[in-house]
């Protein structure tokens, strides 16, 4: 059953790779996700920037885009440059730029053009990330020291094994900062500890102001099939089984957190009722 799931995942990843939009570095095989995007915008300029329109446009409209997902550009804006104010419909470089006032608004409206440096990961791209978290349910990676990627349990090679710190001993003081968020460590099929840089395939891209990725290691680190296949589950040191999937454990934890929040809200409501009662009693005594 597990082997079938792994093979199906590999087929899906291969089909994703065929639809890959980003170019690939021929030397490393890593996708190149950085792009220059030229765009134009119709923007407003506050009266306080009437003497410095370029600085005002950067402050009001371009700087807030940096380190955020910008849908028209299709990725995360890392920098902006080559800002120009221009008159719509005019191609001449030296043509005068005229701001437009609308009705009684004190703001000036105009067209601008600018170039953006954008990071645009696509489903099926092959990227690299450094391991910064390891738990029984997933492996966390940091891409370009900025973007987060989560490798869920189902997308970790089937012959990898998780070892909790309780079984391996606590981490040394020198490594506590690096592994403070981890619950243990994964080992690959050869028994080598998983750490440092890993290659992965993007399965999904989540956008909400900042991009984070979901990936898979199944295609980049195929299971080692040397020797007979055992019917025993290979991940003996993990607490997750087919009868006790990760999703159920996550749901139980979420329910416990919801109950705690409800209890806190109920306590706060009771405290407010008590306060209102005391205030009403105080007002009655004052009126007497």
- Contact by Cβ (8 Å): 121, 22: yes
Tokens 């980003």 belong to which residue? Answer: 22
- Contact by Cβ (8 Å): 134, 193: no
Report the number of secondary-structure helices (H) and strands (E) in the chain.
5, 12
DSSP string, 167-182: HH-PPPGGGHHHHTT-
Is the pTM of the predicted complex or chain greater than 0.85?
Answer: no
- Contact by Cβ (8 Å): 217, 198: yes
Go through the domains of the chain in sequence order and give each one's CATH number: 1-21+122-262 (2.40.50.140), 34-119 (3.30.1490.120)
For the chain, the residue count is: 288
Distance of CA 83 to the CA centre of its chain: 29
- Contact by Cβ (8 Å): 158, 6: yes
Burial of 143 (0-12, 13-18, 19+ CB in 10 A): buried
H or E segment to which residue 12 belongs: helix 2-18
H or E segment to which residue 148 belongs: strand 147-152
pLDDT in tens, the chain (288 residues): 555 565 665 665 555 555 557 999 999 999 999 999 999 999 999 999 989 999 999 999 999 999 999 999 999 999 999 999 887 655 545 555 666 777 778 899 989 999 999 999 999 999 999 999 999 999 999 999 999 999 999 999 999 999 998 655 555 544 555 445 678 999 999 999 999 999 999 999 998 877 899 999 998 888 765 544 444 444 544 444 444 444 444 556 566 766 776 777 777 766 655 555 555 555 555 555
């Amino acid at each position: 059953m597990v082997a079938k799931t792994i093979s199906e995942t590999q087929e899906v990843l291969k089909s994703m790779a065929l639809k890959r939009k980003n170019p690939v570095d021929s030397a490393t095989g890593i996708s190149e996700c950085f792009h220059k995007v030229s765009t134009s915008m119709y923007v407003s300029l506050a009266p306080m920037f009437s003497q410095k329109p370029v600085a005002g446009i950067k402050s009001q409209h371009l700087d807030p885009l940096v380190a955020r997902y910008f849908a028209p550009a299709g990725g995360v804006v890392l920098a902006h440059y080559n800002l120009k104010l221009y008159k719509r419909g005019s191609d001449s470089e030296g043509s005068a730029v005229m701001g437009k006032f609308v009705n009684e608004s004190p703001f000036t409206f105009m067209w601008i053009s600018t170039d953006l440096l954008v990071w645009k990961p696509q489903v099926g791209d092959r990227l690299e990330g450094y391991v910064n978290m390891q738990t029984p349910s997933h492996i966390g990676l940091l891409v370009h020291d900025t973007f987060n990627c989560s490798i869920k349990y189902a997308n970790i090679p089937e012959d990898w094994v998780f070892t909790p710190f309780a079984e391996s001993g606590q981490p040394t003081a020198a490594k506590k900062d690096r592994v403070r968020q981890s619950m243990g460590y994964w080992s690959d099929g050869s028994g080598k500890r998983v750490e440092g840089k890993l290659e992965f395939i993007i399965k999904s891209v989540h956008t909400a102001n900042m991009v984070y990725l979901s990936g898979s290691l199944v295609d980049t680190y195929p299971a080692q099939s040397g020797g007979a296949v055992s019917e025993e589950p290979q991940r003996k040191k993990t607490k997750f089984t087919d009868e006790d999937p990760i999703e159920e454990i996550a749901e139980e934890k979420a329910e416990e957190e919801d109950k705690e929040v409800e209890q806190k809200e109920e306590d706060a409501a009771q405290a407010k009722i008590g306060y209102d009662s005391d205030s009403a009693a105080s007002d009655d005594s004052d009126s007497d």
